[in-house]
Amino acid sequence: MLKKLFGKEQKPVDVTIKSPVSGEFVDITEVPDPTFSEKMMGEGFAVDPSEGIILSPVKGKVEQIFPTKHAIGIRSEEGLDVLIHIGLETVSLDGEGFTCKVSEGDSVEEGDLLMEFDMDVISEKAASKITPVVFTEGDQVENIQMNSENRLKAGETVVATVTVKK
């Protein structure tokens, strides 16, 4: 209310989300894991990767790297929380096949290298190499516009534009 009285109410802002990994676009509802397909973690998309390199989809800060290195959380400079979950049921690998290139608290630019992963290890030992990218705080999101690209190039292809509430 005070923001309205003093004219300091901030308008929503758009965040461009680039693909963190090269590969084929997968609709979040088609991910073979109900945690993601039923959007329990949030709205988003997934990628069936063609290479084992994860780049930052946004400019922001690394908020969380899971101890098993299978997932990384970033907060964009606009305040959008983005979770990149490499593969499905990869927590059980206990870090095998993952090489993290950043630390929690690091500032990252769009396209910075975050993680490398061994696609053979993931394919052999996990349920799937499909990599969900999820906007975990639904109350932050006012609107999501998905682009219609099928083939995605890490750090280059814009997959979504998310309007973030301020």
Name 146's Cβ contacts closer than 8 Å, sequence gap at least 6: 45, 159, 160
CB-based contact 27:45 (threshold 8 Å): yes
Query: Rounded CA gap, 116 and 146, in Å?
Result: 26
Rounded Cα distance between 72 and 63, Å, is: 8
Please spell the DSSP secondary structure of 111-138, one letter per residue.
T-EEEEE-HHHHHHHSSB--EEEEE--G
Sign of the CA dihedral running 99, 101, 104, 108: negative
Interior angle at CA 113, CA 65 and CA 165, nearest 5: 65
- The span from the CA of 64 to the CA of 90, in Å, is 16
* 85 tagged catalytic: yes
Which candidate in 85, 98, 114, 141 is catalytic? 85
Residues annotated as catalytic (active site), given as ranges: 85
